[in-house]
Amino acid sequence: MKKLFERMTSITLGVMALIFIIFTLAMIFNTRVAEEANNGVVQALFGIFAFMFVALSAVNIWSAFSERDKIKQILLFKTKDSVNNASVSVIRKMAKKVVAGIECVKLRHINLFIDNNNEAIMKAAVKISATDKEGELQVAEILDKVYTALKNEYSSILGFEFKTIELKLTSIKEAKKPKPEETKVEQKTIPAKEERVKPVELQVFAEEEATVEDEAELVEA
């Protein structure tokens, strides 16, 4: 893939360079061409060509000095009569299945690369959202657990070992600690006070009875 990309960019750059050279020579040896080319349309086209040439040159240089090339399959083993490969989709499914057994850890963006020595490298993004039993986040231990699980899985099932397994921590979220329960204040019920008859009211009532008796005595008399 990398070699094909480099070939395409090299061919495109060669064609654009040839166009620039021909047009420059035509303008030097034929002044009429230079006069006709002195307009906004031609200037805009050559501005676009110049931008594309610079961009493709930068990409081609970066690709030439890049040590890794993204691949879609890895070579497991080969014999005299057969070549056995594993696709990147199989590698991704196995990785997600293994990491699913590790609590609160997820793998994203699993990709395979090959370096200049034709050795496979695996890269994956890790999301962590957990704490240990003591409530402290142990990132190093979790990443080491993920690395060990992946290495053992590929070695035991596929009989293949990556040169490097790069784990990039892209998200970390610590679990919220439970808040202490608020103490509830018990409301004490105050017993109702017994109603007492005021002595003034009793005195008035006694006076009324006395006046009724006096009137009765006067009537009898």
Q: In the chain, what are the domain boundaries? A: 2-66, 70-172
Distance of alpha carbon 85 from alpha carbon 27, whole angstroms: 56
Retrieve residue 197's tokens: 């008859």
Mean pLDDT of 71-98: 86
Residues sharing a CB contact under 8 Å with residue 95, sequence separation 6 or more, in sequence order: 107, 110, 122, 124, 150, 153
Residue with token string 């060990």:
148
Mean pLDDT of 91-96: 89
Q: What is the pTM of this model?
A: 0.53
What letter represents residue 101's amino acid? Answer: G
CB-CB contact of 124 with 94 (8 Å)? no
Retrieve residue 130's tokens: 């957990």
What pLDDT sits at residue 177?
A: 55
As assigned by CATH, the class of the 70-172 domain is alpha beta
Report pLDDT digits (tens) over 51-63. Answer: 988 888 888 887 7
What pLDDT sits at residue 176?
A: 57
